[in-house]
Structure 1
Amino acid sequence: MRPLFLMISVCISMVLYSVSSSLQNVNNPENTSPVTNDTIKIKVGSQVFTATLLDHYPAKAFKEMLPLTIAMTELNGNEKYSDLPKNLPTNMERPKTIKNGDLMLYGSQTLVLFYKAIPTSYSYTRLGTINNTTGLTTALGSENISVTFEAE
C-alpha cells in the first residue's frame, strides 16, 4: 500500500509542477519571447511592415483573426488604436516605457499600434513589435487611417 501511495504522490507533484511552470510562463511577461518565423505583415497605404509576435496565447489568438483590415483612430500623436471584432485573452503588464513599433492590446479588445516611444502607467498585453520601424511614423501620419494585418 505504501509504494502505491508514494507513486501517486510523486505523480501528483509532477503534474502540479508542470501546471505551475506553464502558468508562470503565461503570466510572466519576462518569460515570453518572439517566436521564430511567427511574423505578420502590417500594411499602411503602400508601405508594408513586418512584425514579430510573442510566443503566448494572446498573440496567437490575434494571429488567428487575420487577415484583418481596420480603421485605426489617432491618439496623442503617438499611437493608433481600434477595437477588434472580438475579445482576446490577456496577459497584462505595466511596461513603464512603450517603444516605437510596439503592438499591444489595451483591455481585451482594443488593438494599439505605437509609433513613438513614450512613458506610460497603463497596463497592456504585448502582442509583438515591428521589426524595422523606419518610415512608420510617416506612413501612419497624424490622421485616422486604415491598416491591414495579415499572417505571413
Structure 2
Amino acid sequence: MTGNPNNVLNKDSMKLKIIIGTIAFTATLYNNPTVTAFKTRLPMTVNMRDLNANEKYFDMPDNLPANASNPGTIQSGDLMLYGSNTLVVFYRSFSTSYNYTPIGRIDDMAGLTSALGSGNVTVTFALQ
C-alpha cells in the first residue's frame, strides 16, 4: 500500500485511538483525502458488525472521498474504507480481490482479535 504517495503512513500526523471495550489501541493514519475527511467526523462511537470472521465493519451515514485499489493482501490491523462509506477494521490477514482505500494501521495488534470478539462490538475512534 505504499507505492502511491496518497497511501503512505503519515508518521508526523496525529494518531488515532481505537477503544474496544476497556482496551485501547493506537493506529498510525495514512496521508490522504479520505483520512482528512474521516478525522472531521471524530470522535465517534459505532456498533461494528462482524463479517467472515476476519473483519468488523460500520456503514457511515455519509460518504468519504475514496481512492480504492486492490492491496492484494489484507493485514491484521488494517483500517480501510470499502466503497465510499464502509469503515472496516481487519483482525485476520488474508488475500483479497476487493478494492479498499487505506485509512490507517493499528500499531500493535496484541489482543486485537480477542477484544473484537466474534459478534458485534462497540468501537470508539478518536484523535489522540
Q: TM-score, normalised by structure 2?
A: 0.94
Cα 1:103–1:42, aligned 2, differ >3 Å: closer, same or farther? Answer: same
Separation in structure 2 between the aligned mates of residue 29 and residue 91 of structure 1, nearest angstrom: 13
Query: C-alpha separation between the residues in 2 aligned to 1:29 and 1:72?
Result: 30
Cα distance in 2 for residues equivalent to 1:116 and 1:137: 8
Tell me which residue corresponds to 2:40.
Answer: 64
Q: Is residue 8 of structure 2 the alignment partner of residue 33 of structure 1?
A: yes
Measured on the aligned residues, the alpha-carbon RMSD in Å equals 1.2
Whole-angstrom CA distance in 1 between matches of 2:50 and 2:3: 27
What is the match of residue 124 of structure 2? Answer: 148
Query: Could you list the runs of 5+ residues in structure 2 that have no partner in the other structure?
Result: none
Distance 2:97 2:32 in 1: 23
2-structure distance, mates of 1:122, 1:78: 14
Alignment-derived partner of residue 76 in structure 2: 100
Question: How many residues matched?
Answer: 125
The equivalent of 1:15 in structure 2 is none
TM superposition shift of 1:38 = 2.3
Structure with more contact order per residue of length (Cα contacts < 8 Å, sep ≥ 6): 2
Q: Which amino acid aligns with 1:138?
A: S
Instruction: Tell which structure's C-alpha radius of gyration is larger.
Output: 1
1:29 Cα offset (Å)? 5.3
Using the TM superposition, give the Cα deviation of residue 60 of structure 1 relative to its aligned residue in structure 2, in angstroms: 1.3
- Distance across 2 between alignment mates of 1:38 and 1:56: 13
Deviation at 1:37, TM superposition (A): 3.5
Superposition map of 1:56-135 within 5 A:
56-135=32-111
Distance in 2 between the 1:50 and 1:40 partners? 6
Q: What CA distance in whole angstroms lies between the structure 2 residues aligned with 1:121 and 1:108?
A: 17
| Residues in 1 aligned to 2:41 and 2:61: alpha-carbon distance in whole angstroms | 9
Give secondary structure in 2 for the equivalent of 1:87.
coil
Query: What is the CA–CA distance in structure 2 between the aligned matches of 1:125 and 1:29, rounded to whole Å?
Result: 13
Question: After the TM superposition, which segments of 4 or more aligned residues of structure 1 sit over 2 Å from their partners?
Answer: none
For structure 1, list consecutive stretches of 5 or more residues without a partner in the other structure. Answer: 1-27
